[in-house]
Amino acid sequence: MSEYWNHNTAFHPELVAAVPGPGARVLDIGCGDGLLLQRLSARAGSVVGIDPDEAAVVSARSRLAKTPGAEVLHGDFLRTEFGESPFDLITCVAALHHMPLAPALERMEELLTPGGKLHIVGLSENKTIADHLAAAAMSVPVMVVSRIRRQSAYPGMVIAEPKESIDEIRTTASAILPGHRLRRRFHFRYSLTWTKPLVSA
């Protein structure tokens, strides 16, 4: 199945680089058509994707049909049981804003093994002057890079408008994921990374 570049796949290299080792168990939340899962599977022991959109799940299952250790679940991340085994890496690209923020972060925290890593690439709403200035400053460079990279849509992708600002996401994440790192990123995205402590506080 096809490879393509867009403002979400632009972050795939750093997410794939975050796979901790060849035996790692990885969960991708809101996996869409499974392109990230396919890339993660090249470095991980097993990969699980979840998405409530049936068309996305059909595409992802087809993409991963010949990939050993890959599974795509059809469902809502917040209502799905993942079995006993926790994950060494959880990724979530452009999907967190489709879910209630605090419950989704709490569930991600629960599903990580101690020492496991969370890598979120997300969208936020521009609410403050700083948000609008940051977005305005990157709009021309993003347009230029997108032309050069021949930005491609992923047809049929389920999208939603973000509701929380980056400050609101930071406040909520601070209570649930102390010590996380949240940064504004190119392509109108933010990244949130967190490592679950080895010993719970």
Tell me which residues touch ligand SAM (CB under 6 A): 8, 29-32, 50-53, 56, 76-78, 93-95, 98-99, 154, 157-159
Q: 149-162 b/e with 16+ CB inside 10 Å = b?
A: eebeebeeeeeeeb
**For residues 23 and 83, which CB has a smaller minimum distance to ligand SAM in the complex?**
83
**For residues 22 and 155, which CB has a smaller minimum distance to ligand SAM in the complex?**
155
Q: Nearest approach, Cβ of 103 to ligand SAM (angstroms)?
A: 10
Round to whole Å and give the CA distance between 146 and 92.
22
Please tell me what DSSP assigns to residue 7: T
Q: Nearest approach, Cβ of 177 to ligand SAM (angstroms)?
A: 18
Specify the pairing of strand 189-195 against strand 112-122: antiparallel
**For residues 42 and 133, which CB has a smaller minimum distance to ligand SAM in the complex?**
42
Q: Nearest approach, Cβ of 122 to ligand SAM (angstroms)?
A: 10
**Maximum distance among all Cα pairs of the chain, rounded to whole angstroms:** 48
Please tell me what DSSP assigns to residue 10: G
Q: Nearest approach, Cβ of 198 to ligand SAM (angstroms)?
A: 28
Round to whole Å and give the CA distance between 181 and 175.
13
**For residues 31 and 177, which CB has a smaller minimum distance to ligand SAM in the complex?**
31
